[in-house]
Amino acid sequence: MFACRLRDLKQLGLTYMVYPGAVHSRFEHSLGVFSLAGEAVHRIKAQQGSELDIDNLDIQTVKLAGLLHDVGHGPFSHTFEREFLHRTSNGLKWCHEDMSVRMIDHIVDIHNIDIDPECLKKAKDMVIASTEHVYHKGEDKKGFLYDIVANGRNGIDVDNAYGFENKTLSARFDYIVRDSRACGLGCNFQIERLMDSMRVMGDEICYRDKDYLTIYKLFSSRADLHRTVYTHAKVKAIELMVVDSLIKADGYLKISSKIQDPAEFWKIDDSIVKTIEISHDQDLKESRDLILRIRRRDLYQFCNEFAVPKDKLEHFKDITPQDIVCSQGNGDATLKEEDVTVCNVKIDLTHGRNNPLERIKFFQDFESNENFLISDDHVSHLLPAFCEDRIVRVYAKKPELVKAVSEAFENFQLKTYGMKAQVHATPDRKRNRQRLEELH
């Protein structure tokens, strides 16, 4: 039943409503990470197995972590965690990695699975290795194994080649390739080249120095996917509407109350939208109406966006609907906070404003015994000097309010930065859409 649940969780959440090919599931992704994690550790063993004392239990543990690393995900990928729970959990800290560990224990318990306790413990530690948790990697002489599925050290892992998060070698390798193909985008990142380049030095996975630009492509490909796919303006509009729908339904369906109990949590998947949509219960009417608006493509209207000026990034705080409403002028419409929604988008190379390659160790060739860091200006002067974007987008929840919201958004920029940071004004055809429809 847990495998079935992963089949009912789309890897890219609601992205398929804009990119029709993005219908692959967390189940497919988990199999991909399982396979790549196994391939990675097998290659390391082939090169350095006797030196590192890698045994079959190590291989099975890494593969198990890859298979189960996402079993604690909620519906709609990270939207559930970062948007819905952020607004309903009253400050409670919750992450899908934690829930994955609890779900693993739940699966083992209810199915009476006979598994080596040390293997299980290490697999769970590998799942949370990229989080802020204190785990037992430092006590394990094979600490490099924890960097294969969820790499908190430098962000290179096998999860990334086919999703959303800051994972490890196998995970990052998986979702970048898988998502690019599903969305009809090209991907020039070479997995095989990096897999062939891996070597453990000082209990850390390192790479040949000639592969510096290949690794840079891994991070830049991830950033391109975030900009082009994951944070696409219409994708975010749909996500915002679904989150509003779930919040309105929460009092009746008790969604947020199920996040602490694995026995209840596993029942929540993407089908919850259909549950709301086909219900005739009056308590779900407002929630249902929002889902019906999405079906009719009557979406929250994207008004405009701006990139936060570079010199303002350090002290930037998320912009709120209140900020926009307080900036409105004396127009025809009077805005209220519930008329506006704001999306604060962060796109980076996994290490904030810093270059993530500063954390990755390299070696010269397979005869070398030393690893070292490389400064990007020693490789190319074409690489970016700054590695983070913050984009602020504003949406009107009703088409007739686009003009008022757009003007308030411009006023906010003038008040905050002394200039309009947006590239261009909101088109007149969008501002006056409702009036044009009435005329026709």
Residues annotated as catalytic are 96
| Structural contact between residues 412 and 323, judged by C-beta atoms closer than 8 angstroms | yes
Q: Report the C-alpha gap between 127 and 131 in whole angstroms.
A: 9
Q: Which tokens belong to 253?
A: 């369906």
Q: Report the C-alpha gap between 403 and 303 in whole angstroms.
A: 8
Q: Report the C-alpha gap between 89 and 74 in whole angstroms.
A: 14
Task: Number of helices (H) and strands (E) in the chain: give both, helices first.
Answer: 18, 7
Q: Report the C-alpha gap between 190 and 72 in whole angstroms.
A: 29
Q: Report the C-alpha gap between 193 and 376 in whole angstroms.
A: 20
> Is 213 exposed, middle or buried (CB count within 10 Å of its CB: 0-12, 13-18, 19+)?
middle
Q: Report the C-alpha gap between 333 and 322 in whole angstroms.
A: 16
Identify residue 199 by its one-letter amino acid code: R
Q: Which tokens belong to 372?
A: 């070292």
Q: Report the C-alpha gap between 250 and 84 in whole angstroms.
A: 10
Local structure of 282: helix, strand or coil: helix
b/e burial code for range 254-271 (CB count within 10 A of at least 16 → b): ebbebbeebeebbebbbe
Q: Report the C-alpha gap between 363 and 426 in whole angstroms.
A: 51
- Segment holding 362, helix H or strand E: strand 362-363
Residues comprising the chain, all counted: 440
Q: Which residues have CB under 8 Å from 430's CB, separation 6+?
A: 301, 303, 402, 406
| Structural contact between residues 108 and 195, judged by C-beta atoms closer than 8 angstroms | no
Q: Report the C-alpha gap between 240 and 342 in whole angstroms.
A: 9
- Segment holding 171, helix H or strand E: helix 169-182
Phi, psi values for residue 343, rounded to 5° = -115, 115
Identify residue 300 by its one-letter amino acid code: Y
